[in-house]
Amino acid sequence: MPSLPYTPPNPKADLATAALLTQLPLPTFNSRQIDEKIQLYYQYLEKFGTPDVLIVGSSRALRGVDPIALREALAALGYANVKVFNFGLNGATAQVVDLLVQKILTPTQLPRMILWADGARALNSGAVDATYDGIVSSAAYRQLMAGTLPIPKTALAPDAPDPTPIAPRSSINQTLTESYATIDRTFSQQLSNISGTYSERDRLKHLFQQQFGAFFPQSAPLAPEGIPDPLQPPPHPSDSAPVAKPSEPLVNSDGFLSLALQFNPATYYQKYAKVAGSYDSDYEQFQIAGKQEAALQSLLQFAQAQKIPVVFINLPLTDQYLDPVRSEYEQQFKQSMLSLSMSQSRGFTFRDLGDRWITEHRYFSDPSHLNRYGAYAISKHLAQDPMIPWIKKKK
């Protein structure tokens, strides 16, 4: 079987990003991942200005839409220098997305388009919203509402220049990439077990930096300017040394988490129990009407006032995940979103890709999350979708 295309990592940039995230100056939102993503976004704003496209959603968005692949695909269609940032967060619901856009980000930090990549679980008003409840009970949120949160004043950068040519890879970089691949595959395997455990995540990050740091000469410090230019693609690895992202904290500078894992039901269910939809807490007391639908309406109203189009992408799922119970709930969700997209002129677009690859397990890292190959393919597909109102002017 031929190898699948994906966006290769940039090891030097990824470690610079990891170094940035070791220092979190703001009070916590009760989630280290949220704290880290906000810090990374502030750095992005300072270096490149507001993104043209902001990807939001849960871990399905975090792993499922590749900003570099999307940017390159749009560039090939004549949309030059489109800036894309992935603000995907584990457990993000409609309430979390609405909170992020309306309250955590300031008007000058908002994108020109919101690309919401997720599925029915994000709109289930019957389930407990632990992520949102954790945020609104945090010290940072209380300070935010009181107007006392010490948010850094980010000097928004002008539009980034055109990409510059990539210099040939030196021997140290070649060795670095090969070593990165060896360590990286181990971390990618471990992520599925411990990505939600912060103490373990921190331990893995420290261990990875210890092992990987030995490959950089002491006289050559890593990326002193911070994170790299997102418009400059990373060097391509050799076909014989595939690489993947190591662990959750080491998202790339565009906020994307790349996983090389490929879902294999035969081996996956030897390690993990197969949970039926009727026992899945994400679909508990499933209903659209309620707090999540209200948050969606609030977001759309706000986005309309700001003239920001919102595009909701229903990301693919596997046949192993879509049992009769989940399929019924997913169908309810699709009907609700299609009705919403047709009943109003709020700049809202719904695109359904849920059934696109139900048996193409190689595009998934587990039954309900895309891997880097799926994210790459989806991003290329989205760029070519004529129903998505890409707002960057063609040259």
Q: Provide DSSP, 112-153.
A: SEEEEEE-GGGG-TTS--HHHHHHHTSHHHHHHHHT------
In this structure, are residues 288 and 39 in contact, taking their beta carbons and an 8 Å threshold? no
Domain residue spans in the chain?
Answer: 1-395
* pLDDT score, position 345: 61
Domain 1-395 has CATH 3.40.50.2000: no
Pairing of strands 84-86, 310-314: unpaired
Highest mean pLDDT out of 18-22, 181-185, 308-312, 344-348: 308-312
Q: pLDDT digit string (tens) for 105-159?
A: 999 999 999 999 999 999 999 999 999 999 999 999 999 999 998 876 665 666 5
In this structure, are residues 165 and 224 in contact, taking their beta carbons and an 8 Å threshold? no
Average the pLDDT over 313-332 and give the result. Answer: 98
Edge to edge, the sheet with strand 348-352 lists 84-86, 53-56, 113-118, 310-314, 348-352
Distance CA 61, CA 312 (A): 11
Three-state secondary structure call for residue 365: strand
Lowest mean pLDDT among 66-70, 285-289, 389-393: 389-393
In this structure, are residues 88 and 56 in contact, taking their beta carbons and an 8 Å threshold? yes
In this structure, are residues 154 and 42 in contact, taking their beta carbons and an 8 Å threshold? yes
- Give 117's strand partners: 313
Q: pLDDT digit string (tens) for 157-194?
A: 665 543 333 233 333 344 444 444 444 444 445 444 44
* pLDDT score, position 23: 67
Q: What percent of the chain has pLDDT over 70?
A: 70
Tell me the pLDDT band of 221, cut-offs 50, 70 and 90.
very low
Where is pLDDT greater, at 56 or 14?
56
Sign of CA dihedral 379, 381, 386, 387: negative
List helix spans (H) across the chain: 11-20, 32-48, 59-64, 67-76, 94-99, 130-136, 139-146, 171-194, 198-213, 265-271, 291-306, 324-343, 372-383
Where is pLDDT greater, at 360 or 178?
360
| pLDDT above 90 for 16 | no
Average the pLDDT over 226-237 and give the result. Answer: 41
Please, what is the average pLDDT of the chain? 80
Q: pLDDT digit string (tens) for 77-104?
A: 999 999 999 999 999 999 999 999 999 9
Distance CA 226, CA 19 (A): 9
Token pair of 175, please? Answer: 């060795």
* pLDDT score, position 8: 85
